Amino acid sequence: MSILIKNGRVVTASETYIADVYTEDEKIVAIGKDLVYQADKVIDATGKLIFPGGIDPHVHLDMPFMGTYSSDDYETGTRAALHGGTTMVIDFILQTQGDTLHNALKIWQSKSQGKAIGDYSYHMAVTDFNDDVAKEVVEMIEEEGITSFKTFMAYKGALMIDDGQMVQLMKVVKKYGGLVTVHATNGDMIDSLIAKNKADGNMSPIYHYLSQPEVTESEASGRFADMLEYTGCPGYIVHMTCEGALNAVRKATQRNQKIFVETCPQYLILDASLYENDFEGAKWVMSPPLREKKDQTALWSGINQGLIQVVGTDHCPFMWDQKLMGKDDFSKIPNGHPAIEHRMELLYSEGVDKGKISLTKYVELSSTNAAKIFGMYPRKGTIAIGSDADIVIFDPKKEHTISVETHHMNCDYSGYEGKKVTGKTETVILRGQVAIENEECLLKAGHGQFIKRGKTSKTVI
């Protein structure tokens, strides 16, 4: 299959220019003015933007969590991602405490193989570290192409590891060239605030928010940064929400540390006032919770200051029936919300269209930096000769409205119902095949490939 895309504005992390792009089989083969090729398909992209396929490095598909499973599986989740211009996701494998990483890997392979439509990789969540797991960490890096290790400083009894385990894990990961990522909130503090609120009879969703004040995230982010400095390991903080946590990272960068930060559209756009609508607030019960307007300003500034490099989604959808598990007790509401489909369009609309970030910054945040940090660049994350032909043709002027009626995620509500957005994904190409056209997904389950990733130490940002 060959495709010639004519006259679009190519946008990379460093420049924008009008050109034609020609793809053959799975790769980009030529970029230039007035290219002459006999292609199987020609697309006129006049007036459109040409982005590298989006990479969402934070999704939870078919994940067991809080007594249930996230409602998108690999098929529905990667299809919805493609509709929004995300051609690759990185999901989280969860080690069961007391069990091996390899057993967890097998479970996630059976969830994804033959089902994924878009490309994917895994982070390995280490929830129980010991000498045997240390050997498996090395095997994950050297043999499986899984080079990032997720840790939780919260969710005690299920996912959390203690600081001793964290430091030992960092030492191994550093030695073999990987990266430690973290959900950075102080689990013990949060658990005690939850218990206090419940003892006082405070059971509605707003108490989820009030049980995770900003300090719980700032403290854990600073502690994580300090442990990274002590071990010399590179690190990545997922789903950062607030000014205090960002300031902890600012301090770490003054020590010249390798610490990367991800935030998510919900923290840039939505705020904690949504928890005031009684049980309706359960739609946005996620951890960490939505914060204040001043935090949104801090996060946008952090992006432009280069302290935040990636925008992921933390896509972790639950049906309304599942959210109702916590109707009498906020601590039983499954944490997470549907987001995988809207990341690229929300970031464009709220960021580029509203003048908060440049086009090149947009591509950094939505694709290139994730490819670099997670060891896939330049195969993924850019429009360049030899790169995978993962391409988004984007109409920057088209206005549309987000709704559960039109989204493709397997979730029966939207966290952005009725929100007007400027800029729409029009055509999506995945490894040289048209994936999305005329709002239809043309690829079938099983098209998505597992992408083996390289070592973080070999990539630059």
Asked if residue 286 binds ligand URP (CB under 6 A), the reply is yes
End-to-end CA distance of the chain: give it in Å, rounded: 33
Asked if residue 314 binds Zn ion (CB under 5 A), the reply is yes
CB of 409 to Zn ion, least distance (A): 15
How many other β-carbons are positioned within 10 Å of the β-carbon of residue 107? 16
How many other β-carbons are positioned within 10 Å of the β-carbon of residue 276? 12
Interface residue with ligand URP among 219, 314, 345, 350 (CB under 6 A) is 314
Token look-up 């570290």 returns: 129
Q: Which does 335 bind (CB under 5 to 8 A by kind): ligand URP, Zn ion, none?
A: ligand URP
Whether residue 338 is preceded by a cis peptide bond, meaning omega within 30 degrees of 0, is: no
- What is the chain's alpha carbon radius of gyration, rounded to the nearest angstrom? 21
- Report the residue number whose CB is nearest to ligand URP: 335
Task: Give whichever of 241 and 425 is closer to ligand URP, judged by the CB atom.
Answer: 241
Contact (CB, 8 A) for 354 and 300: no
Tokens of 459: 């990539």
CB of 215 to ligand URP, least distance (A): 18
Task: Give whichever of 5 and 316 is closer to ligand URP, judged by the CB atom.
Answer: 316
Contact (CB, 8 A) for 280 and 230: no
Torsion, CA 187, CA 192, CA 197, CA 198, rounded to 10: 100
Element (H, E) at 109: helix 101-112
Task: Give whichever of 314 and 350 is closer to Zn ion, judged by the CB atom.
Answer: 314
Cα 256 to Cα 320: distance, rounded to the nearest angstrom: 45
Asked if residue 219 binds Zn ion (CB under 5 A), the reply is no
Q: Is 440 helix (H, G, I), strand (E, B) or coil?
A: strand
CB of 387 to ligand URP, least distance (A): 29
Instruction: Name the one range near Zn ion by CB under 5 A: 1-9, 61-69, 113-121, 183-191.
Output: 183-191
CB of 318 to Zn ion, least distance (A): 13
Asked if residue 341 binds Zn ion (CB under 5 A), the reply is no
Contact (CB, 8 A) for 106 and 372: no
Contact (CB, 8 A) for 21 and 41: no
Q: Which does 3 bind (CB under 5 to 8 A by kind): ligand URP, Zn ion, none?
A: none
Interface residue with Zn ion among 83, 115, 183, 372 (CB under 5 A) is 183
Asked if residue 315 binds ligand URP (CB under 6 A), the reply is no
Q: Which does 286 bind (CB under 5 to 8 A by kind): ligand URP, Zn ion, none?
A: ligand URP
Asked if residue 60 binds ligand URP (CB under 6 A), the reply is yes
Asked if residue 316 binds ligand URP (CB under 6 A), the reply is yes
- Report the residue number whose CB is nearest to Zn ion: 183
Interface residue with ligand URP among 309, 335, 387, 425 (CB under 6 A) is 335
Between vectors from CA 106 to CA 374 and to CA 75, what angle results, nearest 5°?
70
Asked if residue 287 binds ligand URP (CB under 6 A), the reply is yes
Q: How far is CA 56 from CA 3, 125, 297, in A?
A: 25, 17, 22
Residues that bind Zn ion (CB under 5 A): 183, 314
Residues that bind ligand URP (CB under 6 A): 60, 183, 286-287, 314, 316, 335-336
